[in-house]
Each structure stands twice: as structure tokens, then as C-alpha cells.
Amino acid sequence: MFFYGTLCHVPLLARVLDRAETDLVLTPARLADHAVRWVEGESFPAIHPAPGAVAEGLCLEDVGPEARARLDYYEGGYGYALAAVTVETAAGPRAAQVYLPRGPAPQTGAAWNLAEWQAHWGEIATLAADEVMLGYPGRDPAVNARRYRMILARAAARIRAREPAPATLRRPTRPGDIQELARSQPYANFFAVEEYDFRHRRFDGAWSPAVNRAAFFSADAATVLPYDPARDAVLLIEQFRVGPYGRGDSECWSIEAIAGLIDPGETPETTVRREAVEEAGITLGTLHRVYGYYPSPGAKTEFIYSFVAEADLPEGSGGLGGLAAEDEDIRAHVVPLARAMDLIETGEIGNAPLILSLLWLARNRERLRPSP
């Protein structure tokens, strides 16, 4: 089989095949009269006929039925099918099969560059392959294609989670402290649920019994509370939320900080600056890191990065906003900080990231305000 794009990244190919990298027999190869280009707005390429061009890639030898089935599954949601081709190798022409689009080719842009992709996307895409292949063989591959950006976002979250964190009071996590016995993904759509059977070291040094736990997967998120130091005012947003609705809350419109999921390839800082424009139409100044935290670590993998941002909030700021493409209906309010603190006390603000950000701002307000 001839690979021309992301599957030329050997760690990714090994994850898809569930084999060790050292077990893969790969040969450099070239497919004439074809070009590989980035798909517009995506993190992967597409191949298309192009007289005189050459597609560089790799040939995988000894593709058995199980390997073929796993590859078909991984590629299956994108409308690709195998086609017979002849490729050139150092040993001469070879018959091979390659995944080609069955329908109209997607819109493409610049020439594909494997090294560039590996530097920015290689590790994220390799981790994403783990989640994609959790659905093999029972889940429809089209589901993976539909939710691939969320899969990438969760993979990026796993990479951020590896950053060293302090453990001065809590027990430090050491290699081998957790033994995973089984992992499955019984539900996957925009969000996902994973189940684990595992055991872990107890505080007394013994092993726990095998336990089963489930975790709700979204992606990491970032929030920002815009603050105008000159006016001592903050910008709050209001929108309908399905969480209160599902709980049966008497009030289903929520007062919050500007927030959004961190897209794959973004930093939390980039996310909040983008969301401030989308949700409230404002440009943020200096960002101040508030906290990073798990809102519900017993059940959710989500990690939130919260910021307070200096911003100019003149009279008339606020109004309606949100992305129509995401069915957002958002109203922004600019209120004095004192009013926002009162709304915490009355319970009208019941959103944890906003409460944390307001409490942080109340504590740090004087150093952010201009000198009299």
C-alpha cells in the first residue's frame, strides 16, 4: 500500500495498525502524475491527478487482512477508496494500492510538506488516532470524520496535560502508579464518554482493587473576564445554557465570562482573544492569568484556563453577538465591578469560572487600576 500524507508519519501509522514502529517494513516510493496539497482549513492533505507532478510517499509491505481492515476504517469516513497504481521505488516499478477520493476532491491550497505537518500536528494527530481507533470495528467511520476536530482538540489537551505540575501537598504521580486494564468509548459524538478498568497505588503503598470508572470528554476551555480599570467595570455575557435546562433550573439563561473550547493548534490566550471578538466584538489588551482548574475532576476531563483582560469598555459597549454558524445568541452587559460582586451574593451569577475570575479581580483590582 502506498501512503502519501499523514500516514507517512510512522508513529501515526503504527497507532492505526496497533503494531510496533519497528515491525513496519516501509519503502520510499513516488507516484507519478499526482500532487499532494493541504486541504483548505484542515490539518491534513489531499491527493489529486496532476500531470507532471510527483507525490512522494512510503510503501507498506506485507499488508494482511487485519491491517487492511484497520486502514480502511481509519480512512473510511472521508470518502476515500483504494485504487490500483504503479509507484516507483529504488528497486524499480511496484504495483500498489492507494487511497484516492471517490467523489469531488476537496478544496486544496499550498503543496503538502510532511516535515511542516509533523512539527505542528504530528503528535496531536498521533494521539487523535488512539481515539479514532477506539471505535474500530463497530462504529461508523463517518462519525470519526464528523467529529475529528473535537478529537484533535482532546488530543491537544492531553499534550498540555503533560506539563509538569506542583505536588507539594498532594501525592506525586509516579510511573507505574496506575495500571490500565481496559479502555472503551461507549459514547462518541461532539462529546464522548470513556470507561476504564484500572487499579492504582493506595496511600499505604498497596494496590487498590480493580475499579471501573467513566469520564466525560469535551476539550480544554478558556475563559476571559474583560475589565476596564479606568471605569472599574467588567463585561459579562448572557446566553441560554442546556445544562440548567436539563437540570430543570427555574432560570435557563446564564451570566458568564467570555468562553470557548480551545481549538487544536491554539493556545488558551489565542482562544480568549478570538472569542472576545466573536462573542462581544471587543479587542482585549493585557491578559492576566487567573487560575487553571478542573471544574469536576470526579467525572470530567475538561480543564479550564481563566483570564482577566484589560479592555476599553466605553459607554454603549455590550449588545448582541455570537456566531450565527454555531447558533449562538449572546447578549453582553457592561456593569460596575461592585454590581457584578453583588450578583454573586444574590446567586444570579452561578457560573464557576466567572465567580473565580471576579473573586480574583476583587483581590487584584487595586494593582490594575490607574494611580489617582
Contact by Cβ (8 Å): 141, 134 = no
CA distances from 181 to 161, 201, 349 (A): 22, 14, 42
- What are the catalytic residues? 326
The arithmetic mean of pLDDT across residues 205-213, rounded, is: 97
Predicted confidence at residue 14, as pLDDT, reads: 97
pLDDT at 303 over 90: yes
pLDDT, tens digit (0-9, with 9 covering 90-100), for 43-101:
899 999 999 999 999 999 889 999 999 999 999 888 888 999 999 999 999 999 999 98
Predicted confidence at residue 265, as pLDDT, reads: 86
pLDDT, tens digit (0-9, with 9 covering 90-100), for 173-203:
999 999 999 999 999 988 999 999 999 999 9
The average confidence (pLDDT) of the chain is 93
347: left (phi over 0), alpha (psi -120 to 50) or beta: left
Task: Give SS3 for 181.
Answer: strand
Which grid coordinates are listed for 35? 500532487
The arithmetic mean of pLDDT across residues 138-144, rounded, is: 92
pLDDT at 372 over 70: no
365: buried, middle or exposed (CB in 10 Å: 19+, 13-18, 0-12)? middle
Name the pLDDT band for 8 (thresholds 50, 70, 90).
very high
More confident residue, 168 or 109: 168
pLDDT at 241 over 80: yes
More confident residue, 342 or 314: 342
Q: In sequence order, what E strands does the chain have?
A: 2-3, 26-39, 45-60, 80-89, 92-101, 108-111, 178-188, 192-200, 211-217, 221-228, 233-240, 253-256, 258-261, 287-293, 304-310, 319-321, 330-336
Give the Cβ contact number of residue 287 at 10 Å: 15
pLDDT at 232 over 70: yes
| pTM of this structure | 0.88
Task: Give SS3 for 232.
Answer: coil
Contact by Cβ (8 Å): 225, 257 = yes
pLDDT at 217 over 70: yes
Predicted confidence at residue 136, as pLDDT, reads: 94
